[in-house]
Amino acid sequence: EECPSPLVSEELRKKMAEASVNLISAIGYENAGTIEYLVDSDAKNFYFMEMNTRIQVEHPVTEEVMGCELIKEQIRVAAGEPLSKHVLNPTPRGHSIECRINAEDPYNNFCPSPGKIKLWYTPGGKGVRVDTHVYSGYTVPPYYDSMIAKLIVTASTRELAIRRMRRALSEFKIEGIKTTIPFQLEIFDHPDFIQGNYNIEWVSKYIDEKGY
């Protein structure tokens, strides 16, 4: 996930925001939620897909760009308190990208890869954030979602964010199980992704072309 979208113009973003406010106002919804839209190929029209009445996995990219803590604000609203002042009038800053690090084998149809993690070394530095519960010696169970970490990077521009993500992925060391990191490194080196020229079908087509 990335924020802001390289496809969506400022004009279209405002229209989507207005539609979202109208929707939640009409149903009297309170607290955190995510409204999802599909955008056509020329990025002129958008279409409602669904609303998730909860915090999304990708919420860190919003937090990093908008300078807020969504979980904190969610708790404030639930407690009957007002939103923080800086959340009411946020100022976007830079570009943020998130990779979901999954215990899966990307070269075997993304088959789950449970097991004991022998080495767990996370990247760090300016603009690098890792959300995880995992540690060296942790055993990934086969019963639940395969995501074991979220790697988030933020920089002043999309180009710099891509470079930072490449470095962070390269420094992320996990031994004992298969992960999606090698596949994600491929994506961040691909011209289509670098140019922002991709859609929801891109990964499937890429896998077919590579024969994975």
Which sequence positions are flagged as catalytic? Answer: 54
State the Cα angle at 150 between 3 and 112, rounded to 5°.
Answer: 125
Residue 83, amino acid: L
Q: Is the bond preceding residue 4 a cis peptide, omega within 30 degrees?
A: yes
C-alpha 86/C-alpha 84 separation (Å) is: 6
CB 114 within 8 A of CB 144: no
**Burial level of 13, CB count in 10 A (0-12/13-18/19+)?**
middle
